[in-house]
Amino acid sequence: MPRLNNNLDRAIGARLRTQRLQAGLTQSDLGKSIAVTFQQIQKYENGKNRLSGSRMIGVARRLKIEPAELLGGSDSPPGPDVLDALRQRDINRMFVALSKLEPQKRRAVTEAFVAMVQAFGGKL
């Protein structure tokens, strides 16, 4: 029987990956905490396997978010440029480090970083 909504599964998976990275967890860390393998987490993140309701609630609890944050309001995953950027180790490290700062400090660091990127000729 064919899967009916691959786009929705991919969108949920992309949000799962973003939330996992923001929490500073590896796929193995998250998998162990919800009793699945890291390969299963990969399949969820890629939209190849569908998260059941009970599994989604377990993932959300581990990530300390509401399940609705994984569901989102759209069946469109983030654009490929965003996902490709998050897969790059250096960008991922910066994202995780920034997520650990309190909001006021995060804004200050982000503004300084953007100014530095622009000084090096980066266009935003």
pLDDT tens for 8-64 read: 888 899 889 988 988 889 999 999 999 999 999 999 999 899 999 999 999 999 999
Can you give the pTM of this predicted structure? 0.61
Q: How far, in Å, CA of 88 to CA of 96, rounded?
A: 12
Q: What is the pLDDT of residues 59-109, one digit of tens each?
A: 999 999 989 888 876 555 555 566 666 667 788 788 788 888 888 888 888
CATH number at residue 21: 1.10.260.40
Report d(CA 116, CA 97) in Å as an integer.
17
Domain assignment present for residue 73? The answer is yes
> What token pair was written down for 90?
């250096």
CA dist., res. 90 & res. 112, Å (int): 17
**Residue range of the domain that includes 5:** 1-77
**Structural domains of the chain, count:** 2
